[in-house]
C-alpha cells in the first residue's frame, strides 16, 4: 500500500455510513476493533481482504496497514485498544466472534468514545476480556501474488455463475493443472476449492448486503443450489445467511 496515513491513536466512535463508503489506507499505533452492525464489512490488509457479516468483527493489531469499506447502509463501530495492552492473540488481523453480549459491549464502547473515565476503562477491559477468535475457518480472500493465479481469478470473476474445474481453467490460461494446484497450496496456503469458496462467499455476501435474496446470491455466485450456499455460509460464519440478512 502507498501513501499510508499514520494515525497514532485509533479512534473510538460510531459512524453512520451508506453502502460503498470507505476509509483509505492508514495505520494506528493502537490496536482496533472494527465492526459493521449490518451489511458486510471489508477490511483490506496487505495479505488480502477480510469480509464479515454482522456477527463478526475484525481485530486489527497496532501498526497494521489497512483500509475498509462497508456494503449496505449501516453503522460502523470502532473501538481503539491502547497499544500497551497485551494482544489477545497473534500479530495478524483476524475475525472476532460477535455474540449478543460482545455486540452490546462493543457498541456501548464505540458510542461513549475513548476510555477516559473509570467507568469507560472498566467497560473496555471487559470488552477486551471477551474477545474470542471466530471458531470457523478464516474468511479472507487472499491477495494472489502469482500472475498465473491472478489470471485464474480473472476468469472466474468474469462469470461467477460457472464452475470450471482447475484443469479447465488451466487450459484457458495455458498452465498445467498440477502447476496451478501446487501454486495454490504453496503461495496461497489453501487448495483451489477452498479458495474458490472464499471468493464465492465474499461476492455472495456483497449481494446479500445489496438486498438480493439467498436464492439470487447463490445462483449469481456459482453455488449448485441455495442449500449448498447456505451450508457453505453457515460453515464460514456459524449462522445461515437468512438469519443475518433477513
pLDDT of residue 1: 43
Distance CA 161, CA 83 (A): 44
Distance CA 159, CA 63 (A): 37
Alpha-carbon distance of 71 to 42, in angstroms, equals: 8
Q: How confident is the model at residue 89 (pLDDT cuts 50, 70, 90)?
A: low
| Cell 471487559 -> residue | 126
Q: Single out the residue of 44, 134, 67 nearest to residue 94, CA to CA.
A: 134
CB 11 within 8 Å of CB 49: no
For 188-236, how does the pLDDT look when each residue is reduced to its tens digit (9 = 90+)?
999 999 999 999 999 999 999 999 999 999 999 999 999 999 999 999 9
Does the pTM exceed 0.95? no
CA distance 197 to 57: 20
Give the C-alpha separation, 168 to 176, whole Å.
9
User: Which of 119-128 are b and which e, b meaning 16 or more Cβ less than 10 Å from the residue's Cβ?
Assistant: ebeebbeebb
Distance CA 151, CA 194 (A): 17
Sketch out the chain's domains with CATH numbers: 5-129 (2.60.120.10), 143-245 (1.10.10.60)
Separation of alpha carbons 14 and 171, rounded Å? 49
Percent of the chain with pLDDT over 90: 84
Amino acid at each position: 500500500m502507498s501513501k499510508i496515513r499514520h494515525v497514532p491513536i485509533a479512534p473510538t466512535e460510531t459512524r453512520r455510513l451508506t453502502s460503498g463508503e470507505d476509509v483509505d489506507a492508514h495505520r494506528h499505533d493502537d490496536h482496533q476493533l472494527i465492526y459493521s452492525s449490518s451489511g458486510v464489512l471489508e477490511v483490506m490488509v496487505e495479505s488480502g481482504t477480510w469480509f464479515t457479516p454482522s456477527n463478526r468483527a475484525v481485530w486489527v493489531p497496532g501498526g497494521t496497514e489497512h483500509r475498509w469499506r462497508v456494503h449496505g447502509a449501516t453503522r460502523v463501530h470502532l473501538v481503539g485498544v491502547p497499544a500497551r495492552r497485551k494482544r489477545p492473540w497473534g500479530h495478524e488481523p483476524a475475525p472476532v466472534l460477535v455474540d449478543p453480549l460482545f455486540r452490546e459491549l462493543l457498541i456501548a464502547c464505540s458510542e461513549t468514545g475513548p476510555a477516559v473515565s473509570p467507568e469507560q476503562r472498566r467497560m473496555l477491559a471487559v470488552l477486551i476480556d471477551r474477545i474470542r477468535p471466530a471458531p470457523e475457518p478464516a474468511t479472507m480472500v487472499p491477495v494472489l501474488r502469482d500472475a498465473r493465479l491472478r489470471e485464474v481469478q480473472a476468469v472466474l470473476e468474469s462469470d461467477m455463475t460457472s464452475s470450471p474445474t482447475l484443469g479447465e481453467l488451466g487450459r484457458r490460461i495455458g498452465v498445467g493443472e498440477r502447476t496451478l494446484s501446487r501454486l495454490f497450496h504453496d503461495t496461497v496456503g489453501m487448495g483451489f476449492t477452498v479458495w474458490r469458496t472464499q471468493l464465492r462467499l465474499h461476492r455472495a455476501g456483497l449481494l446479500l448486503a445489496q438486498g438480493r435474496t439467498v436464492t439470487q446470491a447463490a445462483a449469481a455466485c456459482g453455488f449448485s443450489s441455495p442449500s449448498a450456499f447456505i451450508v457453505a455460509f453457515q460453515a464460514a460464519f456459524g449462522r445461515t445467511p437468512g438469519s443475518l440478512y433477513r
